[in-house]
Amino acid sequence: MSMLKPKLFSVMKTYTKEQFFKDVISGIIVAIIALPLSIALAIASGVSPERGLYTAIIGGFLVSFLGGSRVQIGGPTGAFMVVVFGVISEFGYEGLVLATMMAGVFMIILGLLKIGSMIKFIPYPIITGFTSGIALVIFSSQINDFFGLNIANVPSDFFEKWMSYFENFRNVDLATLGIGLLSLLIIIYWPKVNKKIPGTLIALIVGSVLVALFNLDVATVGSKFGELSSAIPIPHFPNITFDQIQLLIGPALVIAFLGSVESLLSAVVSDGMIGSRHRSNMELVAQGTANIGSVLFGGIPVTGALARTVANIKNGGRTPIAGMVHSVTLLIILVSLMPLVKNVPLTSLAAVLFVIAYNMSEWREFKRLMKSPKSDIFVLLITFILTVAIDLVVAIEVGMFLSLFLFMKRMSEVSDISVKNLDFTEETESDANFNFKEENQKYPTLKGVHMYQINGPFFFGAAYKYVEAINSLDPQTEYLIIGMKHVPAIDATALHSFTSSLKICKDRNITVLITGIRPEPLSALKKSQINLLVGDDKFFVTIEEAVAYIKINRARHQSI
């Protein structure tokens, strides 16, 4: 799982001619699927169509060549659209190049440090919240092109954007809307006719033919971007300044986060479909390298694309060769057929993005999560609202902060300090977690002895409970037994509280005994030399041993 070795080098040891032909066929089919998606996502991200192909060609090839998955297909995805559009709007394409290169470096470092498996600890409500939010943003961004509203400068703010749409809906162009609706219907229903050829490609072809045949006044890729280049891109290195790095560190971290999460989630899903196991850390290194390579050659951020990966699996692709063939096929299309792309109606591309947004929305998962605990619902809705209303960077930052805060709150609720007097002179049957009858028979005369039972992780979120318990000790207390049988771990804050409590007990002439401590917390106490403050002879396995120690010690003092 953590090997830093590309899957390609492993699978080639048993590669067969039969699998080669399956990979080639699958790679070609996936390239046909990727063609309209790459173009649509590039335009929606605020760059020219060919940059989407550069991404799938360069980035996709590197993902397959170096990746830790057998079947991962890399390319531009909807998850990046919001971030890419925002960075380009504020810093230009040069700013996007630098931010993506920084993100690539972050991802490579994560892989080399073997932190790939840590991605699975990102709370699911955050992932669902921002992907659903992105889906709504993608849908909203395409209304102008789909309805032919001809708004020259669509506001970037979500609410201002929709106000602008409502103000201009009287300008709907029926020809544009008709082509868009037809394209949408083709994408939805074409799979019932043929599942091998993607409906998105058929929709773009039909839309282009109708616009040309009837000479319709419908906006096309050519009318917006002019002539499209079919040249193979030349690498370009951006100018880098310290000020730019500071400004772009936030977007770079978000690109790295999104790329890592989406790629590894796609790899996990594909593992289940083919019965394999990806190498998560190698996949991160490959994704980081692919992002750097993509923008150096004129592309945009790249990540594992789940829909294209699933299509690869369903068409027989089982090794990274399929992904490499997909990239080479797109390169051939770029060189030979790119001029035809200028005839594609923007409303047809908007239909493609509507379907992408719908598939991203995960509305069924969103609905299901609304039945979760209130804290998870809160994180889900906050992440969703911030993604839509402000931006993805803020949404992820706030979502992670809230999740960590709520996690600490839950852990502090799980962790508990139970206080027990072993003589039970002031106890009642209402006290929880203790069998009074049985214990009263065991220890009927142990006055002046208190017991604190710590349950759950002893960490900074629960340390305050321990401090409160120490401060409430009876002045007549002679012995304090601390039961740690149910403490799996202890952190620095708890160790500090523990040390302070020992000093308080020493000042009050209270002897501290510890029972049932596990190896991990005991090791932490020894590293902090807290065991020396307690005394190695005051650690016991059971309460009975501690009670026996107290009785012997009291008997010894009485005999003196």
Query: What pLDDT, on the 0 to 100 scale, is given for residue 445?
Result: 54
pLDDT tens figures, 353-373: 999 899 888 888 888 888 888
pLDDT of residue 430: 35
Read off the pLDDT of residues 546-557 as tens digits, 9 standing for 90 and up: 988 988 888 887
What value does the CA radius of gyration of the chain take, rounded to a whole number of Å? 31
User: What is residue 441's predicted lDDT score, i.e. its pLDDT?
Assistant: 43
Condensed to tens digits (0 to 9), the pLDDT of residues 88-111 reads 999 999 999 999 999 999 999 999
Average pLDDT (41-66) is 95
3 state SS for 286-330 = HHHHHHHHHHHCCCCCCEECHHHHHHHHHCCCCCHHHHHHHHHHH
> Among the listed ranges 97-101, 410-414, 524-528, which one has the minimum average pLDDT value?
410-414
Q: How confident is the model at residue 303 (pLDDT cuts 50, 70, 90)?
A: very high
**Identity of the residue numbered 35:** L
Q: What is the mean pLDDT of residues 533-559?
A: 87
Other Cβ atoms within 10 Å of 285 Cβ, number: 23
Sign of CA dihedral 245, 251, 254, 259: negative
End-to-end CA distance of the chain: 65
- Whether pLDDT at 416 is above 70: no
Q: Is the pLDDT of residue 438 over 80?
A: no
Tokens of 384: 């969703």
pLDDT at 539 over 90: yes
| Per-residue pLDDT, 415 | 63
Beta pairing class for 449-455 and 479-486: parallel
| Residue 429, pLDDT above cutoff 70 | no
Count other C-beta atoms under 10 Å from residue 197's C-beta: 14
Domain extents in the chain = 16-120+176-225+232-353, 415-559
- In the chain, % of residues over pLDDT 90: 51
Mean pLDDT of 450-471: 77
Task: Report how far residue 492's alpha carbon sits from residue 500's, in angstroms, rounded to the nearest whole number.
Answer: 12
Q: Selecting from 3.40.50.300, 3.40.50.740, 1.20.1270.10, 3.30.750.24, what CATH number does the domain 415-559 have?
A: 3.30.750.24
DSSP string, 123-179: -HHHHHHHHHHHHHHHHHHTHHHHHT---SS--SSHHHHHHHHHHHGGG--HHHHHH
Q: Tell me how crowded residue 339 is: count the other CB atoms within 10 A of its CB.
A: 12
**What is the pLDDT at residue 42?**
94
What is the predicted pLDDT for the residue at 412?
64
Task: Quote the mean pLDDT of the chain.
Answer: 87
Give the pLDDT confidence score for residue 506 in this predicted structure.
Answer: 87
pTM (two decimals): 0.75
Q: Sorting pLDDT into bands at 50, 70 and 90, what band is 458? A: confident
Whether residue 540 has pLDDT greater than 60: yes
pLDDT, tens only, 270-281: 988 898 889 999
Q: Which of 383, 451, 384, 396 is nearest to 423 (CA)?
A: 451
Concatenating the DSSP letter of every residue in 169-237 gives: GGG--HHHHHHHHHHHHHHHHGGGT-SSS-HHHHHHHHHHHHHHHTT----BHHHHH-SPP-SPP---P
* Poorest-pLDDT segment among 122-136, 144-158, 291-305: 122-136
Mean pLDDT of all residues in 239-265: 90
The tokens describing 454, both together, are: 């710590």
